[in-house]
Amino acid sequence: MSRSVRFSLPAVPAVLLSIISVQAGAAIAKGLFPLLGAVGTTSLRIGLSAIVLLAVVRPRLGRLQPAQWRAVVPYGLALGLMNLLFYCALARVPLGLAVTLEFVGPLGLALAGSRRWVDVVWVVLATAGIALIAPWSGEGVDLLGLAFALAAGGCWALYIVLGQRTATVLPGHQAVAVGMLFAALPVLPFGIANGTLEHLTPHLWLLSGLLALFSSVLPFTLEMQALRSLPTRTFSILMSLEPVAAAVSGWLLLNERLTFGQWLAVGFIVTASAGATLTSSQPVPVVGGD
């Protein structure tokens, strides 16, 4: 996949540009929801991303071994389900909150099985962040949207575990390309059933292409490039900034304004994520988020 990039950015700017690209893509997606719905938008994003990545990477599917198929198929399915749940959340709650709650998944994975006292601090901070977002009064933030975001986070954790396993049997760029093909399987039937393709105009095709570029193709390319030279710990700390970037993008691009308590929740979970990465003996690489 690196052959598609004609220039090479330093690792840190590449990660930051990837974060900005993902949030710009999310803003485009939210603009498409009134016309295509969350499911239709997801199917177009993943379907077009799969086509582009397969054309660029050109993986030799016929030469994949059974062990590689066994690894990459569930990896791709987890990716597709993660994206579908995230867009369902994004249709109901602000971008900043959706990304913040989704981050609970990889954060929980980083803390799983830990018995050190310092990790209790990160658990408390993350729990406090979730508590600040939760609509205790029954009003305000959509409860189903929050549930979708947390479910997407669970799929993100599963995606990381499966991605680490896939990386041992298949090169990263091929894993992403083949995985994206299988990511389309859980969502394309719903998009077709919703009549998504029937409502597409040239303008919507253009927006869908930009969505695939900003949300999948460009971020995956930049992240793979950065991971060649950037330590996993540093990469994960930088990725912990994503909820803040999402909240700012929602404010600037979508006019979504968070309350003081919601901004505080974002800060708590970002701090917990960065702190868990700093103190972890084996930091979890947070790759391929939404």
How many Å apart are CA 290 and CA 286, to the nearest integer?
A: 11
pLDDT score at 145: 92
Q: What is the pLDDT of residues 18-46, one digit of tens each?
A: 999 999 999 899 988 988 888 889 988 99
The tokens for 157 are 């954790």
pLDDT score at 1: 41
Q: What is the pLDDT of residues 182-216, one digit of tens each?
A: 998 888 887 777 776 677 788 888 998 899 899 88
- Listed in sequence order, the DSSP H helices in the chain are 11-57, 66-90, 95-102, 104-111, 117-133, 143-167, 172-183, 188-193, 202-212, 218-227, 232-239, 242-254, 260-279
Q: Which positions ≥6 away from 109 have C-beta within 8 Å?
A: 157, 160, 161, 284
pLDDT score at 129: 87
pLDDT score at 222: 84
How many Å apart are CA 100 and CA 130, to the nearest integer?
A: 9
Contact 184, 47 (CB under 8 A): yes
How many Å apart are CA 91 and CA 39, to the nearest integer?
A: 10
Checking phi first, is residue 140 left (phi over 0); if not, alpha (psi -120 to 50) or beta? Answer: left
pLDDT score at 3: 43
Task: For the chain, list residues with pLDDT below 50.
Answer: 1-6
pLDDT score at 224: 75
Contact 53, 1 (CB under 8 A): yes
pLDDT score at 151: 95
pLDDT score at 2: 41
